[in-house]
Amino acid sequence: MTILGVDVGGTFTDLFAWDGEAVRTAKLPTTAADQSEAVLAGAAEVAAHVDTFLHGTTAATNALLERTGARTLLVTSPGFEDVIEIGRQDRPSLYDPIIERPAPLVARSDRVADPTSADLGDFGAVAVSLLHAYEDPTGERQLRDEIVGVHSEIPVSISSEVVAEFREFERTSTTVLNAYLTPVVARYLARLESGVRSAGIAERISVMRSSGGLIGGPEAARLPTAILLSGPAGGAVAAASIGSLLGRDRVIAFDMGGTSTDVSRIEGGRPEIAYERSIDGYACRMPSVAIHTVGAGGGSIGWVDAGGSLRVGPRSAGAEPGPACYGRGGVSTTVTDANVFLGRIAPHAALGGRLAVDRSLSEDALTTLAASAGLTVQETALGVVRVVEEVMAGAIRTVSIEQGSDPRDAWLVAFGGAGGLHATALARSLGMAGVIIPAHSGVFSALGLLLSPPRVDVARSVLLRGAAQLDEAVAAVATDARDRLPSGAIETLADVRYLGQSHEVTVPYEQGEGWERLAERFHDTHRDRNGFSRPGDPIEVVTIRASATGAPAIDPTSVFTWEASGPAELGTRQVLTVDGPAAARVWRRDGLTVGAEVLGPAVIEEPEATTWIGPGERVTVSGFGALEVTW
């Protein structure tokens, strides 16, 4: 049985195919106008036909960031038309006096309490969010039936099905997001599935959801808010798998691509799941891997600010025109250009086996930036690397130190096309235990799709202040999850808070454990997260959650195997470091045998990625093909 994972990023589209015996991979530039073009081209390249087609997509994210969603009508209870604009009245950046919130996705004139007052023919989607619908969805369902009865072509999102939880602002915001994105995402997935079927590649597709599991294409089309972090979630799942195989209980996933860097904390072999986040300023109350993203990738552009300081990102050169060294018309200096100039990337490398780079074009771009910064070209290249690494180090601090977790006990699992070029510098600056560069690191998120199980997430707000009805509520939510995925293993959790608090902590709870055990677990978790607990204070259970997860397409041990082939050492290359020029040995990753050691300075090359090993660093090749770096 052949299984294909395709992960679309802002710069590259990555593919990983497994037929039970051999791996085939590909990396090609993402087609910005229509992602499905690169997906179909890559799929035809790695496999003529597949039994299972798994997809991680940025279609929903891009539609939100680019504001290309549908004109949406919001139907809500009288007096609540402005809740999405009022929000929580907090400040997204406390000390920034000029920061502006994003404009609501639904204009004031398009928010009504009576849908008959609007000309529905002018809208591409409808969002319905009525007061207390999380308890009684009858009114929302009736409104949907009435709208669909007249305009069957207009998709209608109702809050009781998108997110059946209390808090009017978050529930309404998430429902509006879902409605706004549905037409765009549905068209993309329909076009992709039709293309896949027409080409004879597969009959249907499954899509990665933000929470680290898979859902069918039609369900993803109806619930696009569930796939807003589709791509990064695959990498977190794969990082958890390789960490478990290597016996590393605490790891931080570090995925550096062409446009951005995604980091997430993994403890006990499982990525942390968050149940609310802001995406480009819009509240989205859907479960997702707790990923922190920064605009720092290989294509991030270096620039000089008004004060004369060198900056990097968040603007990216993307796939078109891409970094200057791609020779596609780009003239701005990017992180990739700095790495090519410094010698970390070969001066005439073929990225992904197909995209040739030109060092002279990188030098031209750096020369221009250096003149603006008042630095030498060498200082500018090293400065670009130093600045982007500090941005990424800040992201790692966000998911570790700021959440009460000490990064010094964790290993950094680095992947993505550019992850191995910066991982050791980041880990050393934070005092981390070491770095793991997994096999197939350049297409690791695509591999993660094959390791991800089918998954269903269910939530229901209950507002309980004692044991009465707790187990009954847990059983009901668990049954709902089991009905949606009968073969899945069920996990139940509870959102708990101290009475009077406005935010909750999610803790595991199984039916029958009892109120005292739940309270004890909450106090411990609250102390770990917030630095204090109040065991004598009453608590309240706000929401019960359940997830049903099936079996992944493959066992990780089937693909995390390693057998060297061909030559290992390719010679030496001069690289520029902060201490001056150095002769680095260049190694071919496929040629490194299990147990082999490599001492820095060194460059380890593979078709989809490059790893930089600095002076004083040591690499050991594990039995699973991972490069374990210590110092």
Can 3-64+186-227 and 455-550 be said to share one CATH topology? Answer: no
The answer to whether residue 565 scores a pLDDT higher than 80 is yes
Q: What is the pLDDT of residues 366-414, one digit of tens each?
A: 999 999 999 999 999 999 999 999 999 999 999 999 888 899 999 999 9
Q: What are the residue boundaries of the structural domains of the chain, listed by start?
A: 3-64+186-227, 69-179, 455-550
Q: Round to whole Å and give the CA distance between 294 and 228.
A: 16
For the segment 432-443, the average pLDDT, to the nearest whole number, is: 96
End-to-end CA distance of the chain: 42
DSSP class of residue 459 equals: E
Contacts of residue 98, defined as CB under 8 A and 6 or more positions apart, other chains included, come to: none
The band of 35, judged by pLDDT with boundaries at 50, 70 and 90, is confident
> Does 66 score more than 90 pLDDT?
no
Does position 269 have pLDDT exceeding 70, yes or no? Answer: yes
Q: Are strands 355-356 and 350-351 parallel, antiparallel or unpaired?
A: antiparallel
The better pLDDT of the pair 602, 30 is held by: 602
Amino acid at 597: E
Per-residue confidence band for 353, with pLDDT thresholds at 50, 70 and 90: low
CATH topology of domain 455-550: Dna Ligase; domain 1 (3.30.1490)
Q: Is the pLDDT of residue 463 over 70?
A: yes
Averaged pLDDT score across all residues of the chain: 93
Higher model confidence: residue 540 or residue 94? 540
Q: b vs e for 62-76, b when ≥16 Cβ sit within 10 Å of the residue's Cβ?
A: bbbeeeebbebbbbb
What is the per-residue pLDDT for 601? 97
Omega before residue 581 within 30° of 0, cis: no
Q: How many CA atoms lie within 13 A of 426 on its CB side?
A: 34
Distance between CA atoms of 380 and 123, rounded to whole angstroms? 50
pTM of the shown model: 0.92
> At 252, which amino acid appears?
I
Query: Confidence band (pLDDT; 50, 70, 90) for 352?
Result: low
Q: Which of 141, 180, 181, 138 is nearest to 158 (CA)?
A: 141
Confidence of residue 472 (pLDDT cuts 50, 70, 90): very high
The CATH number of the domain covering residues in 3-64+186-227: 3.30.420.40
**Cβ-count burial 307-320 (b if 16+ within 10 Å, e if not):** eeebbbbebbbbbe
Arithmetic mean of pLDDT, 123-142: 96
